[in-house]
Amino acid sequence: MNGLKFLSTGILLLCIIGSNAQDFKKYDSGNYVHKKDSIYYRILFPENFDAKQKYPIVFFLHGSGERGNDNAAQLRNGGKLFLKETVRKDFPAIVVFPQCSSDSFWANVDFKSTDPAKRGFNFSTGGKPTKAMHALMGMIDNLLDKPYVDKKSVYVGGLSMGGMGTFELLRRKRKTFAAAFAICGGDNIANVQKYKKTPLWIFHGEKDDVVPVGLSTAIADQLKVLDVDPKITLYPNDNHNSWDSAFAEPELLPWLFSHHK
């Protein structure tokens, strides 16, 4: 009986994995190439897409564990959220998941140590963007040139490395985004003044042992110094995967899409 039970569990797991793969096929594959820039991405168009209409567009930046060139791993966290029937019905938008190559990083940040217990983050306040960020910005400009994209409704969000990339993207493209959200990310507080006018929702787990929660609270505190009332949600029992809780927030997408330039 135990063997049969394990077999049934294995079959169920394979069915779930297969179902997810089928769902993710709704995301079309793309590859932006311009001079030295190259970046893969997956893109989800609204149901009953009409190229004569204009749609909001969301860019989602994945974490370091999803880097590569398979143009698939980046959908692992967040991909299901935008496939929900209610989301597709209530928020018809174009959703883009770019993939950072394994030899780069979204944000321009140096690590003080590879030891998690001693890990620290040195975020740049200027300088050139990373290879991945440079390609990402080119890809964004290319997509925003499409006639069916509503340039007044452009959004960005990300988790972990992608949360860090979200903050950097906001300061490098200050006039582009109507709103943004960052999950378990971080930035140099000296950069906060550069994106203080962009509506921002910050999420972090208080037990995060990968990216310290203090990186997010420091940004929120700096926003207060700049006379901005920060929107920040901390999860007392969450470790690094606070994105599960953030994606479950019923007000996340209504809040995001309520903002326009």
pLDDT > 50? residue 8: no
Query: Stretch 207-214: mean pLDDT, rounded?
Result: 96
Any domain includes 22: no
Any domain includes 104: yes
Instruction: Kindly report, residue by residue over 29-73, the tens digit of the pLDDT.
Output: 999 999 999 999 999 999 999 999 999 999 999 999 999 999 999
pLDDT > 60? residue 159: yes
Q: Which domain holds residue 132?
A: 28-257
pLDDT > 80? residue 151: yes
Q: What is the pLDDT of residue 137?
A: 98
Looking at the 3D structure of the chain, how many domains does it have? 1
| Mean predicted lDDT score pLDDT of the chain | 91
Q: What is the pLDDT of residue 6?
A: 41
Q: What is the pLDDT of residue 29?
A: 98
- What's the CATH code of the domain at 145? 3.40.50.1820
Q: Which long-range contacts (CB under 8 A, 24 or more apart) does 123-132 make?
A: 123/164, 123/168, 123/186, 123/187, 123/188, 123/191, 124/188, 125/188, 125/190, 125/191, 129/168, 129/172, 130/104, 130/105, 130/106, 131/101, 131/103, 131/104, 132/39, 132/100, 132/101, 132/104, 132/105, 132/106
Any domain includes 153: yes
Any domain includes 235: yes
pLDDT > 70? residue 117: no
Instruction: Kindly report, residue by residue over 61-106, the tens digit of the pLDDT.
Output: 999 999 999 999 999 999 999 999 999 999 999 999 999 999 999 9
pLDDT > 80? residue 258: yes
Any domain includes 17: no
Any domain includes 9: no
Any domain includes 4: no
Return the closest-CA partner of residue 134 out of 173, 176, 175, 174.
173
Any domain includes 21: no
